[in-house]
Amino acid sequence: MNDLRAVYEILSDVYRQGAYASLALSRRIDSVRNRDFVTRFVYGVLGRDTELNYYIGAMASRKPRGGAAVLLKMGMYCVLYMDSVPDYAAVNNTVELAKEVGKSSSCSFINGVLKAFCKRRPPLPKDASARLSVTASTPLWIVREYVKQYGFDKASEFLSVVPEQREHMRVDTSRISVAKMCEKLDELGVEYTLDPDLGDALFVRNSTKLKALFDGGYFTYQSRCSMMCCRAAQISDGDRVLDMCAAPGGKAVYMSSLADGVSVTACDVYHHRLQLIESYARRMRRSVDVRLMDATVANKEFVGAFDVVMCDVPCSNLGVAAKKPDVYLFKDAAAVASLAEVQYKILSNGARYVKEGGKVVYSTCTLLKEENGDIIKHFLKEHRDFVCESETQYLPDAVGTDGFFVSVLKRGGL
C-alpha cells in the first residue's frame, strides 16, 4: 500500500470511526513500506490536531468534513513539520492523494487552502490561554483547567515538555542484575541509560535485538509512573494484595516481586483482558490469581481480606497525551465528570476490601483535580476510618515522567 494512503486510512479510522490510534496503526502497518515514516506521520498529525484545527478554521472559507478534513490536516502538518518536503510538493502530494482516495471533488478546495497557507500563516490568538492552546496543541477547555489549577507558567511549562522517546525497561532483578543487563545491552549494541530514580529500570531504544530477553521474561516494558505507583504501596513480606483494575498486568506482576511471599489477586471486568494479565504473568514467571470482577460492584468475598488494595482507576489519560495524542480527540468536561463517578465507586469498594491497618493506593494518569485530589477529599469525608499517608501529583517532564497522581490511604490510621 502507498504509504501516504496508509496514513490517510489510519487517520480516517481514528477521526471518523473513533478507533484508537495504536490499534488502527497495527491493523495496517504490515502493508506499508516505511513503517517509521507512517508511524511518525500518524502520531504527528494527531499530536498537532488542535493547532491544525485552528489554522484550518482561520484559512478555510468553509469547515471541511470527513476525508477532506483529514487530507487538509495531513497537508498542513507536512508544510509545518516536514522540512525535508518542499511546500509545493506537500500541496501536490495531498491533492494527488485526494484523487486516489476518491475525494476529487475536494481537490480545488484543498489546493487553494494549502497554497494560501504556504504563503501566509494566520496570526496566533491574542488571549494567552488560547495562544497556548494552539502552540501546545491542547484543547482550549483543558488548557483553561490547567491554568486555573496550576497557574499559567506551570501549565505552559509542562505542556511544552518534549517527552522521552525511548522505552522504559524494568529489569527482573530476581533473574538478572541491572549490571548484567547493561552488559548484554552493550553486547547487542542497544542504546540505554539508567533511570535516575529507579534502580531496577533503564531507558532503551526499542530493537528487535531485545526480543529474546523480552520473551524470556528478563525484562518488561513498564512506565516509570506505573513502577512508582507500585512502590508507593510499600509492600511487605507476606502481604496479600488486590489489584482491582489490573489489565494488562504490569502493576500486579511488579507488586508480586517487591517482597517475599506476596500473593496478588488481579481483577478485570473483561475476559479478554484477563488473558492479557495471565500472558504477562507467564512471561515474567510470576504467579498471579486472576479473577473476573467489575470493580464498581461490591464483592462480599473480598471484604477485609487484603493488606494492600491497588485502585489504578479508569481515567481521562490526559497525563499521557504527549505519548498518546488521540486521548484529546473525544474528551470533554462531561466525560471527566462521568469518570469521576466511576472512580469514586471503585475507591469506595477498595476501602471495603482492605484490612485494618492496611492501605489503599489510588492512582490515575491524569492531571485534573476532579479525578485526583477532589476524589480523595470526598473519600476522606465519607470514610473517617482512613487517613491520607501521602498524596503526590506528578507533572510531565523531559526525563520520562508522565502526568500522574498517587495517593496512599491507610485504614485505622488514627
What share of the chain in percent tops pLDDT 70?
Answer: 99
pLDDT computed for residue 152 by the predictor: 97
DSSP H or E stretch at residue 100: helix 87-100
Question: Is the pLDDT reported for residue 147 higher than 70?
Answer: yes
Tell me the pLDDT band of 412, cut-offs 50, 70 and 90: confident
Question: Is the pLDDT reported for residue 239 higher than 70?
Answer: yes
Q: Using CA atoms, how far apart are residues 94 and 8, in angstroms rounded to an integer?
A: 10
The CATH fold of domain 233-411: Rossmann fold (3.40.50)
**pLDDT mean over 230-237:** 96
Question: Which CATH class, in words, describes the domain spanning 3-119?
Answer: mainly alpha
The CATH code for residues 167-221 is 3.30.70.1170
- Using DSSP, state whether 358 is helix, strand or coil: strand
**Strand stretches in 295-403, DSSP E:** 306-312, 354-364, 386-394
**pLDDT mean over 219-237:** 95
Which grid coordinates are listed for 318? 490526559
**pLDDT mean over 392-414:** 90
pLDDT computed for residue 287 by the predictor: 95
Backbone angles phi, psi at 396, to 5 degrees: -60, 140
pLDDT computed for residue 260 by the predictor: 96
How do strand 192-194 and strand 263-268 relate by DSSP bridges?
A: unpaired
DSSP H or E stretch at residue 130: helix 128-135
Q: Using CA atoms, how far apart are residues 180 and 145, in angstroms rounded to an integer?
A: 46
**pLDDT mean over 221-235:** 95
**pLDDT mean over 59-69:** 90
Count other C-beta atoms under 10 Å from residue 3's C-beta. 15
Report the predicted TM-score, pTM, of the whole model to 2 decimal places: 0.92
pLDDT computed for residue 33 by the predictor: 87
Tell me the pLDDT band of 332, cut-offs 50, 70 and 90: confident
Question: Is the pLDDT reported for residue 358 higher than 70?
Answer: yes
What are the helix (H) ranges across 160-312?
178-188, 211-215, 224-232, 250-255, 271-283
Question: Per-domain residue ranges for the chain?
Answer: 3-119, 128-159, 167-221, 233-411
**pLDDT mean over 379-387:** 96
**pLDDT mean over 2-9:** 92
Tell me the pLDDT of the chain averaged across its residues.
94
Question: Is the pLDDT reported for residue 413 higher than 70?
Answer: no
Question: Is the pLDDT reported for residue 22 higher than 80?
Answer: yes
Q: Using CA atoms, how far apart are residues 182 and 92, in angstroms rounded to an integer?
A: 48
Q: Of 18-32, 73-87, 182-196, 341-355, which gets the smallest average pLDDT? A: 18-32
Which grid coordinates are listed for 38? 507512517
pLDDT computed for residue 392 by the predictor: 96
Question: Is the pLDDT reported for residue 414 higher than 70?
Answer: no
Tell me the pLDDT band of 396, cut-offs 50, 70 and 90: very high
**pLDDT mean over 137-162:** 96
Are 277 and 270 in contact by the 8 Å Cβ rule? The answer is no
Question: Is the pLDDT reported for residue 172 higher than 70?
Answer: yes
Question: Is the pLDDT reported for residue 232 higher than 70?
Answer: yes
